[in-house]
Amino acid sequence: MKKYQLCSKEELNLEIEKLEKEYDKYKSMNLKLNMARGKPCKEQLDLSMAMMDVLNSSADLNCEDGIDCRNYGVLGGIEECKRLLGDIIEVPSKNIIIYGNSSLDVMYECISRSYSHGVLGEKPWCKLDKPVKWLCPVPGYDRHFAITEYFGFEMINIPMNSDGPDMDMVEELIKDEMVKGIWCVPKYSNPDGTTYSEEVVKRFANLKPAAKDFRIYWDNAYSVHHLYDDNQDFLLEILDECKKAGNPDLVYKFTSTSKITFPGSGIAALATSDRNIEEIENQMGIETIGFDKVNQLRHVRFFKNLDGVKKQMKLHANILRPKFELVLDEFDKNLSDLDIAWWTKPHGGYFISLYCREPVASFVVKDCKDLGLTLTPAGSAYPYHLDPDNSNIRIAPSFPALDDLKVACEILTLSVKLESAKYLYNNK
């Protein structure tokens, strides 16, 4: 088949009739497939089962400082766990706070604290005369946008380039003192898989925002989540660059073991400057006496050090890589000659972005649902769920088995072809 844009109305009509017959075939199969979220599959979860055996009823549950991890105390986390998480994201242990299982909860808490009590002595955002504004690189992480929408912030789209957010736009917008933050997934970003270039990271570190309480929310969720040994993206360490630029307090950096061990039972951490650490721990001391130190100890004894984490991530990659490559192969086989879509080809992370050339993403997602394939709703990667081009579809290959994933890609590419042909037919 030639490119759809070059087809006559009669040719498009014949193509639609053929595709609708394929559509009916899949509909009769009563499938139930799901690619809605970037969940690790069972085989990935099984990689960490030995962690359940490193502690038992006869284990020494004292950490290296001699503190009994079963008891109260150690607000910021045990030292060996801070060191391990710090090594994962290239930050000294003194600049790490260990939390519970969810980095998303830590981000929510940082915004909530800023909203109710302010940042380093600045006026709490709840007492401002105007709504807070927040910069949102798009496409981005839907759960980030849900937090800032929940607090009533005005979210501003920042286009993503191949090397990160449009920094000219960022540098211009932060001249407004009501702009208080920006969401960032700087490595293997959700959903494009983009890694910020050195130039972009340095421009972030050298920002001069009008608001003294402006913070970069640097969600480094995929720092060690490579798909290949010989083709790994490099990300410049942001806190060190901020320190060099005279902006040590500018960044909150987040990480977790959610897609390293068990997503529901991992460890989250925040890394930031000494001043920010002091302020946050003062607030934390009201909220809690300390998080789950036994789980912290379990993770440390399972991995031992960063090399242990890297070995684990190679095992994850061995499971994920064939899935990503299958998706990309199916896209190439079924869509590349038609000029109706393009897609990202990440070296790591958990997602692929598929972009429809025509504004049909929402119709594609609906078709897939009718055929038994659940995808992330169209528009989810944009604030307020509004994709201005109705183009982006987030693909999460990790959870389905390979055979199911192949069928899912056949359904998805069929839907893209059908809806694109229908759109072009109706607009001839």
- CATH number where 376 lies: 3.90.1150.10
Span 246-275, mean pLDDT?
A: 97
Q: Are residues 31 and 71 in the same domain?
A: no
Residue 51 lies in a domain: no
- Tokens 């959700």, residue located: 190
Asked if 120 and 141 sit in the same domain, the reply is yes
Judge if 174 and 299 occupy the same domain. yes
Please tell me the predicted confidence (pLDDT) of residue 179: 98
CB neighbourhood size of 202 (10 A): 17
Q: Mean pLDDT, to the nearest integer, of 234-242? A: 98
Q: Are both 229 and 195 inside the same structural domain? A: yes
Q: Note if the pTM is more than 0.85.
A: yes
Model confidence at 428: pLDDT above 90: no
The pLDDT-based confidence of 272 (bands split at 50, 70, 90) is very high
Asked which of 276, 304, 332 is the last residue of a domain, the reply is: 304
- Evaluate whether residue 300 is within a structural domain: yes
Distance CA 328, CA 150 (A): 35
The mean pLDDT value of the chain amounts to 97
pLDDT-derived band at 237 (thresholds 50, 70, 90) equals: very high
Could you tell me if 237 and 299 lie in one domain? yes
Give CA–CA dist 219/374, Å, rounded.
26
CB neighbour class for 274 (10 Å; exposed up to 12, middle 13-18, buried from 19): exposed
pLDDT in tens, 350-371: 999 999 999 999 999 999 999 9
Q: Say whether 219 sits in a helix, a strand or coil.
A: strand
The answer on pLDDT for 1 being more than 80 is no
| pLDDT at residue 211, as a whole number | 98
> Does the structure show a pLDDT above 80 at 46?
yes
Cβ-based neighbour number of residue 306 at 10 Å = 16
Query: 270 and 219, same structural domain?
Result: yes
Contact by Cβ (8 Å): 101, 264: yes
The answer to whether residues 137 and 283 belong to one domain is: yes
Residue that is last in its domain, among 251, 283, 304 = 304
The answer to whether residue 82 is domain-embedded is: yes
| Chain-centre distance for alpha carbon 223 | 11
Claim to verify: residue 117 and residue 257 sit in the same structural domain: yes
Range of the domain at 237: 61-304
Structural domain contains residue 54: no
Same domain, 39 and 163: no
For residue 382, being part of any structural domain is answered with: yes
**Which of these, 96, 86, 396, 344, lies nearest to 233 by C-alpha position?**
344
Does some domain include residue 233? yes
pLDDT digits (tens, 9 = 90+) for 23-32: 999 999 999 9
Dihedral of CA 381/386/391/397: which sign?
Answer: positive
Tokens found for residue 379: 């528009």
**Residue 132: partners with Cβ closer than 8 Å, 6 or more residues away:** 115, 125, 151, 152, 153, 154, 178, 180
Same domain, 300 and 323: no
- Residues 324 and 208 placed together within one structural domain of the fold: no
Residues 257, 240 contacting (CB under 8 angstroms): no
Cα angle: 115, vertex 121, 122; to 5 degrees:
55
| CATH code at position 131 | 3.40.640.10
Residue 311 is assigned to a structural domain of this protein: no
Burial 418-428 (b: 16+ CB within 10 A, else e): bbbbbbbbeee
Does 2 score more than 90 pLDDT?
no
Task: Note whether 339 and 421 are same-domain residues.
Answer: yes
Q: Is 49 a domain residue?
A: no
Q: Sign of torsion, CA 421 409 407 368?
A: negative
As for how many domains the chain has, the answer is 2
End-of-domain residue from the set 282, 304, 326 = 304
CA distances from 245 to 203, 204, 364 (A): 10, 10, 46
